[in-house]
Amino acid sequence: MPNEIRARGAAAEIEKYLRGVAAGGEWPEGDALPTTRALGEKFGVANTTASRVFHRLELEGLVWKQDNGRYFLESSRQLLHRPKPIACLTRELERWSGVYRAIMAGVSAYTAERQTALLLWRSESLVSHIDVNLPPDYGSLEQQATSLDDFERCYGETHGGVLIDDVWSDKALAQHPVLLKNAAVLYRETDLPGVGNVCIDTEAGSLLALTHLLARGYEELWIARPFRGDAAMDALVADVAALAEKTGTGSLVYHIKEAGTPEERTALISEANSSSSRVGVFCPEDNVSKSLYRELISQGVDCPGKVGLMSGMGTSVLEDENISTLFYDFREMGIRAAEMICSKESGQIKLRPDLLVKITT
């Protein structure tokens, strides 16, 4: 008991001393505070007593603990704490879609608030999408592996974590375990163990799209596939088709139609207009949805009376259009992914969509 009383008294003295240092304004900015060992010797107690005092004052915001274990006054944090930059492994800036412009706006907002730098690694071979009216070309597994090798050779572990464009394949990423120590895959789901993931909830989007088109009285559901090879697009197409299969039970007719080229889109709209049923067209990609809408207008199709159209992302591409769409908050996706990297926590976050109803349905 006497030892316990003595420790409490010493802890109070240590706390008084440290508060005095903080309030005095004379402690050199950027200098470390005395170690727990030094304080223990000064006040005649074990290091653990001083450590508990430091921890309590850290929770209060009076002191700050650096990664090396030394304590500083909180006022020194901005001077000394320079977090490593977040590396963003993305396609070329010129190839950023509406989705990635919104995602990176969120990443930039979060990191700017935390005064964390961004390191942009642009892979020219990752995806080529020069003409939005045509399907993109994706880099091969070998090209992706080479680009990741180049990144690791150039930057090693000088970054504080990695945000990964959805176009990188899990197979290529799995070959670089060091890269994945603190990483988050964007937009699409991933099976990589221990890797963070902030993605769209394709199941929730599928349900929202299908129920909306059914409620509008469309008798057939046509899923306009914008292109193949994009994991998020492929998942949304597959989920809508699976849900239509389950929900229809023979009464709902659905088809998957290719819509990646101008010729395919022209044929799709012409066929839908010629159908004996009212057709609701769901296209997951905004640029292709925009092209389909223009084709509807050019062919003089009664929209939404005969053919309805619904998009699947709700990016800025549709800002001046009257197309009904799912809306995913991709800026929030960027914020949550950057937060995941900075906190060094993995896990999965699925963003659910909202529904924006306009004149096309």
Regarding whether 21 and 9 lie in a shared domain, the answer is yes
- Residue ranges of alpha helices (H) inside the chain are 2-24, 36-43, 47-60, 77-80, 98-113, 141-155, 170-174, 202-215, 231-248, 262-274, 286-298, 330-343
Regarding whether 95 and 29 lie in a shared domain, the answer is no
Contact (CB, 8 A) for 188 and 132: no
Pick the range with the lowest mean pLDDT from 77-81, 131-135, 228-232, 258-262: 77-81
Q: Is residue 272 part of a domain?
A: yes
The structure tokens 């450590």 sit at 51
- 293-308 per-position pLDDT tens digit: 999 999 999 999 999 9
Contact (CB, 8 A) for 107 and 88: yes
Residue 93: other Cβ atoms inside 10 A: 11
Regarding whether 121 and 16 lie in a shared domain, the answer is no
Banded pLDDT at 139 (limits 50, 70, 90) = confident
Is the model's pLDDT at 334 over the cut of 60? yes
Q: Is residue 359 part of a domain?
A: no
Query: Which residue, of 38, 57, 80, is where some domain finishes?
Result: 80
Segment 230-251 shows an average pLDDT of 80
Regarding whether 145 and 226 lie in a shared domain, the answer is no
Query: Which residue, of 80, 96, 119, is where some domain finishes?
Result: 80
Give the per-residue pLDDT at 3. 64
Regarding whether 110 and 169 lie in a shared domain, the answer is yes
CATH code: domain of residue 94: 3.40.50.2300
Segment 2-17 shows an average pLDDT of 79
Give the per-residue pLDDT at 138. 86
In single-letter form, the type of residue at position 211 comes to T
Contact (CB, 8 A) for 29 and 68: no
CATH code: domain of residue 43: 1.10.10.10
Regarding whether 209 and 174 lie in a shared domain, the answer is no
Is the model's pLDDT at 31 over the cut of 90? no
| Six token digits for residue 292 | 């389909």
Domain, as residue range, for 29:
2-80
Regarding whether 108 and 75 lie in a shared domain, the answer is no
Banded pLDDT at 82 (limits 50, 70, 90) = low
Give the per-residue pLDDT at 293. 97
Segment 15-30 shows an average pLDDT of 86
Contact (CB, 8 A) for 65 and 58: yes
Regarding whether 209 and 278 lie in a shared domain, the answer is yes
Regarding whether 95 and 244 lie in a shared domain, the answer is no
Is the model's pLDDT at 1 over the cut of 50? no
Segment 133-153 shows an average pLDDT of 89
Is the model's pLDDT at 327 over the cut of 80? yes
DSSP secondary structure string, 47-72?
A: HHHHHHHHHHHHHHTSEEE-TTS-EE
Q: Is residue 63 part of a domain?
A: yes
Segment 317-325 shows an average pLDDT of 94
Is the model's pLDDT at 197 over the cut of 80? yes
Give the per-residue pLDDT at 249. 46
Regarding whether 208 and 282 lie in a shared domain, the answer is yes
Q: Is residue 361 part of a domain?
A: no
In single-letter form, the type of residue at position 267 comes to A
Contact (CB, 8 A) for 314 and 326: yes
The SS3 call for residue 134 is coil
- 46-72 per-position pLDDT tens digit: 888 888 989 999 999 898 888 778 898
Cα 355 to Cα 85, 229, 279: the distances in Å are 36, 26, 19
Query: Which residue, of 55, 80, 105, is where some domain finishes?
Result: 80
Regarding whether 268 and 191 lie in a shared domain, the answer is no
Q: Is residue 339 part of a domain?
A: yes
Q: Is residue 61 part of a domain?
A: yes
Which DSSP symbol is given to 300? T
Provide the mean pLDDT of the chain. 89
Q: Is residue 295 part of a domain?
A: yes
Question: Domain count of the chain?
Answer: 3
The SS3 call for residue 99 is helix
Q: Is residue 358 part of a domain?
A: no
- 245-271 per-position pLDDT tens digit: 887 544 567 899 999 999 999 999 999
Segment 133-161 shows an average pLDDT of 89
Regarding whether 140 and 98 lie in a shared domain, the answer is yes
Segment 181-209 shows an average pLDDT of 95
Give the per-residue pLDDT at 209. 95
